[in-house]
Amino acid sequence: MTKIIGLTGGIGSGKTTIANHFQSSGIPVYIADDEARKIMQTAEVINAIKEAFGETLFEGVVLKRDKLAEIVFNDPEKLQQLNEIVHPAVKRHFKQWLVDHKGFPIVIYEAAILFESGNYKNFDLIITVTAPLESRIQRVIERDNTTREQVLGRINSQWTDEQRVSKSDFVIENIDIEIARRKTDEILKILKIKQNEC
């Protein structure tokens, strides 16, 4: 039976960096935010977003993602409305992805809002990636060429590191990337041992 490990962390903590490390160790990784981005381009989701948020968010058939992000990350109700459209579609997609990877003993599901969405209950174990707030802000400003205010808006819409850590089975502190990778390798070793015991 495949063990499904949830991998989460706040914006800029380094989830995807750690997910990539798992992947390079041969563990299949489902990056939920990337998949959601693709799913948001499907006709079904586009129509639902148009209905909920209005046509002005679109230029022809192209969704103005920046505009949508600005709305939802500053309005919890709108964020919930968007999640209610996108999450069920991602859930269906992931179910099929699992079928496609059924021969693997361990797979990773990476998502920013694993706890906030309540989705964490569906995983065998949870790993949280943490990093100091200021590092996260600077990383995202550099990566996305965005403003401090926009990053803070997103951080404030998510759980805190303390909340995530309190509900996690493993924590990877990602300050020095090499130390974080070594910790990832240690966790992977433990996961493999646990899996062999089953």
Binding region for ligand ATP (CB under 6 A): 9, 11-17, 33, 112, 139-140, 143, 174-175, 177, 180
175: nearest Cα among 124, 126, 138: 138
- The response to whether 15 counts as a known ligand-binding position is yes
| Nearest distance in Å: CB 133, ligand ATP | 13
- The response to whether 16 counts as a known ligand-binding position is yes
Q: With contact defined as beta carbons under 8 Å apart, do 168 and 115 qualify?
A: no
| Nearest distance in Å: CB 20, ligand ATP | 8
> Distance between CA atoms of 109 and 58, rounded to whole angstroms?
30
- The response to whether 50 counts as a known ligand-binding position is no
| Nearest distance in Å: CB 116, ligand ATP | 12
Give whichever of 16 and 184 is closer to ligand ATP, judged by the CB atom.
Answer: 16
| CA-based torsion, 37, 184, 169, 152: positive or negative | negative
| Nearest distance in Å: CB 144, ligand ATP | 7
Three-class SS state of 24: helix
69: nearest Cα among 42, 40, 90, 93: 40
- The response to whether 166 counts as a known ligand-binding position is no
- The response to whether 67 counts as a known ligand-binding position is no
Torsion of CA 114, 154, 50, 44, to 10 degrees: -30
> Distance between CA atoms of 192 and 198, rounded to whole angstroms?
10
Residue 154, φ and ψ in degrees, nearest 5 = -70, -40
| Nearest distance in Å: CB 30, ligand ATP | 14
37: nearest Cα among 90, 98, 91: 90
> Distance between CA atoms of 22 and 83, rounded to whole angstroms?
27
- The response to whether 60 counts as a known ligand-binding position is no
Give whichever of 63 and 110 is closer to ligand ATP, judged by the CB atom.
Answer: 110
Binding residues for ATP: 12-17
Binding-site residue ranges: 12-17
